[in-house]
Each structure stands twice: as structure tokens, then as C-alpha cells.
Amino acid sequence: MTPRASTALGSLFDLVPECLVLRGRDGRILTWNAAAERLYGRPRAEVAGLAGHEVFAGDPAWDPALLDPTGEWRGEVTRTAADGSPRTIRLHWQLVDGGLEILEIGHDITLARAAEEALRKSEHRYRNLFQAMAASFWELDFYPVGEMLYRLRKTGAITDWPAHFAAHPEFVREMMRATRVIDVNDQTVALFGRGDKQALLTSVEPFWPEASSPVFAASVVAAVTGAQNYATETRLRTIDGVEFPALFTACFPPDTMNKGTLLIGVIDLTERVAAQEALARMQTEMAHASRVALLGELSASIAHEVNQPLGAIAANGAAGMRWLSREEPDLGEVRALTERIISDAQRAAEIVKRVRTLASGVPPERLPVSLNAIIRDAATFLQHEIRDAGVSFATRLSPDSPVVQADRVQLQQVVVILALNALQAMSGAGSARPALTIRTATEGDEARLEVEDNGPGIPEEARARIFDSFFTTKPGGMGLGLAIAQSILRDCGGSIGVETAQGAGARFVVRLPLCENGSPTHTKV
């Protein structure tokens, strides 16, 4: 080592984390520091005086002419580390000591490069995924909305974001206008933009129908309250203004949120919704067909119900005629009889109206209805069957008058199905003292309806299947009653189950969510 080099490379240089190599103008290595010893795995005494290519086989041929006019050169080389692994070294050469020697500063950038590469690959993978997914994806710049919300928060006036958004729909639209579309995938272009990607790279506002604004607001609330994601069904709009049902999902991963970017996924539900609508139509039609069939089964009751007032009308009419044919007609008596005729005619008309509603195929309408009133209505239809079957019938109706959200006619249908099944089971088994009890009760936030008989019960092997369509144990049975009852109840958020033991009767239990503050369409009973 020259005296100069040894002064230049004092112990201070060993503290530098970069690999420092002092080289002559001919490229020969004069010495290097501790970091270079560690990386390249050779003590400085061993390399002193060696030519560059003897130590670094892969380096480009040494050429001092590489140095620029200020005496510097920068470049990257691949060198072999002590453990034999290739390392990417970023080099900086600089003339020192009045131009007699060259100081080489080397940064091992292998790890940084690998990280950059991994990032590039992951970005590439993400882009590929973004493009290849079957759903529509949007990358949005949410930063301006973040600023709007920040400014609003600073005023201190807002504590309840959902309430604020609900009260200021124009602010929600403004947030939409401030949300810029950075990128969309091909699916999005096909679904929203009639093939024109550029047309989509605006704000998100045109794609949100007015009625869906609360969903946008809810997703902003989710984003600002630290939720990880938000998903819901809503309606969105194409660039041509065509609305469609969609599953909307927004992801708020912290790293993208910090950059102000948001990822949105949209799945077109048009076909699913169409299929659901077809299914709902089919269920309504099935329920209707089953009601018509039930009416057939109830025809004796209905005829009896209508005949009674008709008979009374005829009798009262005849009596009235007699009072009129007297020498001194008793008009007071005739008035009383005529009043009875009118009320009997109204009773008959009421029965006909009920049969009509049950037979009509109008789509179900969900309104608050009194469960007790439903039982009363259904019981009128069943009276005759109950009497004919010699069954003792009791109702135990809850004094709370539970009110549920349901279609009145459909709920009546459920009660009639359960009661008729009970009557048929008891008469089929020849029960000695057949009894049918219908109860209503409230239990927490649920209404409970029970239809209980003391018939043969349901054998173990049939229990799991009675709610299946077309499962029947009756000759001529359709096996649709319980399946329809179940689907009606599910549609209004309820459920049905059975408690039974062979030979010990059956108790069908229906649960429905109680209506919170609905007023019944029926009078309370």
C-alpha cells in the first residue's frame, strides 16, 4: 500500500457501510475497507496490488477513459459475494488524491433490486387480475372526497355522517363528482361504456341513479369509519343511462386508502334478478293453485256458510210477507225483519268476498296484519269441516294481539293448510277424542303461532321430508301444502317447524318477526 492510500484509508473508512476500494489509475487494487472484506470475502492484504479483473472477473475491462471530465464514473456491475452468490453492485468511481488514485464506492443493491422486481411482478399480476376478472373493476381516486370530508369534519359541526348524508343528498352527488375514475378493466368497458374506455374515465356520478345515492353514501361512511370493505345490492347505470341491478363491492385496504385510491367491483345481476323474479312468480302461482285446491276441499264449509244466511233471508222474507198480508199490517215487525234480511245478505256477501279473495290470483302484498284476526278469518272457513270431523276446537289467542308483516290471504292459507292437515290426520287415524288447538303468542321480538292436534303424530322417517314438495302419505294427496306454507313464511322472514312424537300428536310452530310499530289492517281481536 502506498503511504497516501494508507492515510486515506484510515480506520474511519472501516466504519463506512459501503464497500470502498482504493484503486490505482491502472485499475489495480491498492486496498479496500472492512465492508468490502465482508462482501467479497477476502482480506485487504490478499488483494492489494491485484488487477481489477483478477478480483472481479465479471467487471467490464478497466479503462480510465471512462471517467468524465469531472473525474467520475457511475455504473452497475454484477460481482460474486463471499458466499458465491451474484450481487448487483452500483459503483461510483471518483478521482482522488490529486488524480493519482481512484476511490470506488460500491452499494450492494441486490435486495433493493429484488424488492423492486417483486413489486413490478405483483403490480403486473394485479393488472392482469384486474383485467382478467369476470367482474367489472374500477380504480378510483378518492382523495378529493377525503379532502371534502376532512374540511367538513374540521368545522366540528358533524358528528353523525349517515344523518348528514341523508339530510344533504346534493353533497352526496358532489362527492360522486369528486370521485375520479383512474382505470377500469375490459369488463367495465363492456358493461358500462359501449366499448369506449375513455368515456368512462371521468367521475363516477353518471353511473349512480338518484335512487342509489344512499348506497354511495353508505360506502363512504364505511370507508371513513375504518371498515375493510362494503358490499350491497343496488342499481347502477351505464353511460347510455340504462339502469341495471348490480352487486356493488368496495374495498378499503389501508395501503391503497393512504394513497387515496379505492377499488370497486361490480357484478351485473340482471340475469339473477330475472331468474329470481321468475321464481317468485312461479311461487305465487303455485300458492294460488294450492288455494284454489284448498277451496275445493272447503267447499262443504263454504256452501254451508252461504246457505245459512240465504235460508234466514228466505224465512224472514216469508215472515215479513205474512205480517204485511194481515188486515192491519204490522210495519214495525216488517221493519225489524227487513233489517235482519239486510244483515244476513251482508253476511253472505262478506263470505263470498272472502272466498273471492282466497281464489283470486293477485300478487302477495306485505302489510302489517293481526295474527289473531287471521286465525278468526281462517276459522270461519274451517267451521264446517271441524264440526263434521267431530273435533273439539279451541283457540288461545294472545292478548298482545301480535302484528306481523305479511300477506293476509297467504297467511290465512298457511293456517288453513295446517288445520286441514291436522283434521285429516286425526280422522285418518280414527283418534278417539280428536282435538285441535290454535294458539298465538309473542316471544321477544317474534310472534308465535301453533297449530296442535292429538292425532297420530309424524313418524320419525317422514319428519325430515314433510316440508319437501310432493311428499305425501295420503292417497290422492298432492304433498304441496307444507312446502307452500314454508315458502310463504320464509318470504316474510318467518319459519315453520314441527314438534311431534309418534302417537302423541303434532304441533306445528310458526315464527314471524313482530311488526315494530305497524298498525294492523285488521281490527284487533
**302 binds ligand ADP per the rule CB under 6 A:** no
CB nearer to ligand ADP: give 156 or 475: 475
- What's the min distance (Å) between Cβ of 275 and ligand ADP? 25
Q: DSSP string covering 22-60, please?
A: EEETTS-EEEE-HHHHHHH---HHHHTT--HHHH-TTSP
Residue 156: count other Cβ atoms within 10 Å of its Cβ. 7
- What's the min distance (Å) between Cβ of 493 and ligand ADP? 21
CB nearer to ligand ADP: give 257 or 436: 436
**Sites for ligand ADP among residues 471-510 (CB under 6 A):** 471-474, 477-483, 506
CB nearer to ligand ADP: give 3 or 475: 475
- What's the min distance (Å) between Cβ of 448 and ligand ADP? 17
User: DSSP E strands: which ranges in 174-332?
Assistant: 180-184, 229-237, 243-251, 261-268
- What's the min distance (Å) between Cβ of 508 and ligand ADP? 7
Of 146, 136, 127, 116, residue with least CA distance to 257: 146
Q: Which residue is nearest to ligand ADP (CB)?
A: 481
**Category of 402 on φ-ψ map: left (φ > 0), alpha (ψ -120 to 50) or beta:** beta
The answer to whether 431 and 503 are in contact (CB under 8 A) is no
CB nearer to ligand ADP: give 246 or 417: 417
CB nearer to ligand ADP: give 239 or 286: 286
**Sites for ligand ADP among residues 147-186 (CB under 6 A):** none
Backbone angles phi, psi at 81, to 5 degrees: -85, 175
Q: What is the DSSP letter of 203?
A: B
Q: Which amino acid is at 218?
A: A
CB nearer to ligand ADP: give 52 or 455: 455
* Sheet of strand 446-453, all strands in order from the earlier edge strand to the far edge: 392-396, 435-443, 446-453, 506-513, 495-500
- What's the min distance (Å) between Cβ of 285 and ligand ADP? 17
Of 278, 522, 302, 276, residue with least CA distance to 409: 522
Task: Give CA 327 to chain center in angstroms.
Answer: 81
Q: Residues 179, 213, 421, 431: which binds ligand ADP (CB under 6 A)?
A: 421
**Sites for ligand ADP among residues 105-144 (CB under 6 A):** none
- What's the min distance (Å) between Cβ of 511 and ligand ADP? 18
CB nearer to ligand ADP: give 409 or 417: 417
CB nearer to ligand ADP: give 98 or 476: 476
Q: What is the helix (H) or strand (E) element at residue 154, kind and residue range?
A: helix 143-154
Contacts with ligand ADP: how many residues (CB under 6 A)? 22
Q: What is the helix (H) or strand (E) element at residue 281, kind and residue range?
A: helix 270-297
- What's the min distance (Å) between Cβ of 376 and ligand ADP? 21
Task: Give CA 253 to chain center in angstroms.
Answer: 19
- What's the min distance (Å) between Cβ of 510 and ligand ADP? 13
Span of 203-211, 268-276, 380-388, 469-477 interacting with ligand ADP by CB under 6 A: 469-477
The answer to whether 175 and 206 are in contact (CB under 8 A) is no
Q: What is the DSSP letter of 238?
A: -
**Sites for ligand ADP among residues 428-467 (CB under 6 A):** 453, 455-456, 458, 462, 466
Q: Residues 215, 302, 375, 422: which binds ligand ADP (CB under 6 A)?
A: 422
- What's the min distance (Å) between Cβ of 425 and ligand ADP? 3
Task: Give CA 39 to chain center in angstroms.
Answer: 56
**Sites for ligand ADP among residues 193-212 (CB under 6 A):** none
The answer to whether 312 and 344 are in contact (CB under 8 A) is yes
The answer to whether 327 and 317 are in contact (CB under 8 A) is no
Of 183, 179, 185, residue with least CA distance to 204: 179
- What's the min distance (Å) between Cβ of 447 and ligand ADP? 21
With cell 351505464, the residue in question is 238
Query: Which x/- pattern over 367-406 shows residues binding ligand ADP (rule: CB under 6 A)?
Result: ----------------------------------------
Q: Which residues pair with 404 in a beta bridge?
A: 369, 514
- What's the min distance (Å) between Cβ of 465 and ligand ADP? 8
∠ CA 246-252-254, rounded to 5°: 170
CB nearer to ligand ADP: give 161 or 467: 467
CB nearer to ligand ADP: give 457 or 494: 457
Residue 482: count other Cβ atoms within 10 Å of its Cβ. 22
- Which residues make up the interface to ligand ADP (CB under 6 A)? 417, 421-422, 425, 453, 455-456, 458, 462, 466, 471-474, 477-483, 506
